[in-house]
Amino acid sequence: MHLEPVRVECYSGYRADETPRRVQRGGRWKSVQEVLDRWHQGWRNPEWPAAEYFRVRCADGELLLLRHDQEYDQWYVVQSSAGRYPGGGGGG
């Protein structure tokens, strides 16, 4: 799995980094239009690193799969696509 480090600005509600709002890739900021899906890794299995994943649609239509490494507080793009992700999400 290729992880591209990125900067992410988040909405912070009752906790920090609750949901991504903007992603900086290649020196340009992209606005997150919609969070399509979200899940956690490692909470029940301590052998896996604690991370949160967000499938988001940017204002320009690009779909990103973002990973937030909880231990190091680092964000990554795991996958990007100009269309729909196979297997769901991104309808419309």
Per-domain boundaries in the chain: 4-81
Predicted local distance difference test score (pLDDT) of residue 49: 78
| Alpha-carbon Rg for the chain in angstroms | 13
pLDDT digits (tens, 9 = 90+) for 9-29: 998 777 666 899 999 998 999
Q: What is the mean pLDDT of residues 2-6?
A: 93
- Give backbone dihedrals phi and psi of 16, rounded to 5 degrees, phi first: -70, 155
Q: What is the pLDDT of residue 3?
A: 92
Rounded CA separation 78/91 (Å): 20
Coil vs helix vs strand at 70:
coil
- Of the chain, the end-to-end C-alpha distance in Å amounts to 28
pTM score of the predicted model: 0.79
Is residue 42 scored above 80 in pLDDT? no
